Amino acid sequence: MNKFSKNAIALAVAAAAVAPAFAAEDTAFWYEDGKRTLADQKKEFPNMRRAKNVIVFVGDGMGVSTVTAARILQAQLQGGDGERNELAFEKLPYLALSKTYSANQQTSDSAPTMTAIIAGVKTNDGVLGLGPEVPRRSTDATQLESFKIKSLVQLAEEAGRSTGVVSTARITHATPAATFAHSSERNWERDTQVPAGAPNKDIASQLIDNFGPGKIGNGIEVVLGGGRREFLPNTMNDPEDAGSTGRRADGRNLAAEFEAKFNGEFVYDRAGFDNFNVNSGKRLLGLFEQSHMEYEHDRPADTGGEPSISEMTEKAIQVLEQNQKGFVLVVESGRVDHAHHVGNAYRALTDAIAMSDAVKKAMEMTDPRDTLIVVTADHSHTFTIAGYPKRGNPILGKVVTPGNEAPNYALAADGNPYTTVSYANGLGYRENSPIEDAYGDGLGAQVGRVTDLRSIDTTNPNFHQEALVPLGSETHAGEDVAIYAGGPRAHLFRGTREQNYIFHVMKDALGL
């Protein structure tokens, strides 16, 4: 033991009587912690092998502040030390930053960012699987054909590997859609949304039409998520939601077509999901909601009993690993983004935690010697962690500074308490309002700080944090997001990189 460590231990013993709550973390503790971490890092050696499998997780809207807050909340919900906690993907050995701007915007949406991640090219906002030469909503048939970009999923299909797409959003929503579709407008999810007479194909139909004989590969093996209404005709009753029908006007039942064309099986509830035989050789299409799947917090109350993102990931791997050539799996936690848009941090963070559980499951089921796992975000949000809260203060609570206890809250210039987390823009403070769809619930924005939070439980799942700039929906943010990686060629993720670089590393690892 060196002189520094001996002195530190002596001082720690002497100071024990006046130490703070985290007294075990004395000078010696932190010094040794740093040494131990360095020693662990020296044991890491790059894996230069080709990858048999690639799994890419996308936390939609999961910026660095969201990761930090989710890390803290996960442990605090279990009564643990949030600040020293690690989410599953934070244990992956390699880290880089991704620049998320699109071809035409500083702050982008999910269509061009996911196109960059999964197809290797930056493009325009609202555009999926097409180059930046194609303007949004273009109906120029020559452009639409000339500037198609094949995704990693499509390249893997061509190479005979199995493929899967999992999302808690609609499968036709921007992030999952970028894996299989080419569209100049991300919102053309079904036929009724495409302009009359336009040559464009709606996104849902492309899941069927872009694959098979004379097209690409033999069909995606596993597709799990929401968006049932985009696949069923408007003459057909929804199998789960009484009084609802599909929304297609062209008469196509794409779920039935998936079964017939690809030797598939369509399921829509927990029973069908659980009963699917992963060794049957059949492909699996699971669409568990008319629109997006439930937030993780609300999932247990779902009528049909939705599977979790972790369960969907597990099922997908079980199906895909049957192929000895390997597989590519894309998993999106889509509703992190939606909860941020309505200013509800609790649901955003618990959905991020659920994705961490899915990453943990994937890590347990695969071998890092042959499987590259990449975890990233398409963009960030205006979600902030601020003030000077003491160590261990509830991350969703009101700020209490060191040496104080609630209700001795830190006060803003107006004399009222404030929360640790908030938003730079959005709907603003609401206490117990319903959580409906992705972009607001029609209750309007609160301008300024109008309520004394002393009597309000800001940790309640239905609490909406305050926002500085009043908007009908909180917006994306433009800062860099993190890339976490482990497995073959994961060491190539380092530094600050353009977002499209992610695709090129994954493609190189697979040898496509």
Tell me which residues are annotated as active site.
Answer: 110
Q: Which DSSP string do the residues of 400-436 spell out, in sequence order? A: --TT--TT---B-TTS-B-BSEEEEEES--EES----
DSSP state of 476: E
Beta-bridged to residue 226, according to DSSP, are 170
Strands 383-385 and 421-426: antiparallel
Q: Is the dihedral of CA 25, 28, 34, 40 positive or negative?
A: negative
Nearest to 83 by CA among 25, 139, 159: 25
Burial 224-255 (b: 16+ CB within 10 A, else e): bbbbbbbbbbeeeebbbeeeeebbbeeebbbb
Alpha helices in 366-500 (DSSP H): none
Query: For residues 104 and 163, is the Cβ–Cβ distance under 8 A?
Result: no
DSSP state of 172: T
∠ CA 173-224-292 to the nearest 5 degrees? 45
DSSP state of 124: -
**Rounded to 5 degrees, what are φ and ψ at 62?**
-85, 75
Name the burial class of residue 53, with classes exposed (0-12), middle (13-18) and buried (19+) by CB atoms within 10 angstroms of its CB.
Answer: buried
CA atoms within 13 A on the CB side of 77: 15
Residues in the chain: 512
Nearest to 463 by CA among 440, 488, 491, 429: 429
Query: For residues 285 and 255, is the Cβ–Cβ distance under 8 A?
Result: yes
Name the burial class of residue 365, with classes exposed (0-12), middle (13-18) and buried (19+) by CB atoms within 10 angstroms of its CB.
Answer: middle
Joined together, the tokens standing for residue 492 give 């190539």
Q: Assign residue 186 a region (left: φ > 0; alpha: ψ between -120 and 50; beta: otherwise).
A: alpha
Neighbours of 196 (CB within 10 A): 5
Neighbours of 468 (CB within 10 A): 15
Joined together, the tokens standing for residue 126 give 């609202």
What is the spatial distance between Cα 96 and Cα 394, in angstroms, rounded to a whole number? 29
Distance (Å) of CA 467 to CA 345, 424, 435 = 12, 5, 17
Name the burial class of residue 473, with classes exposed (0-12), middle (13-18) and buried (19+) by CB atoms within 10 angstroms of its CB.
Answer: middle
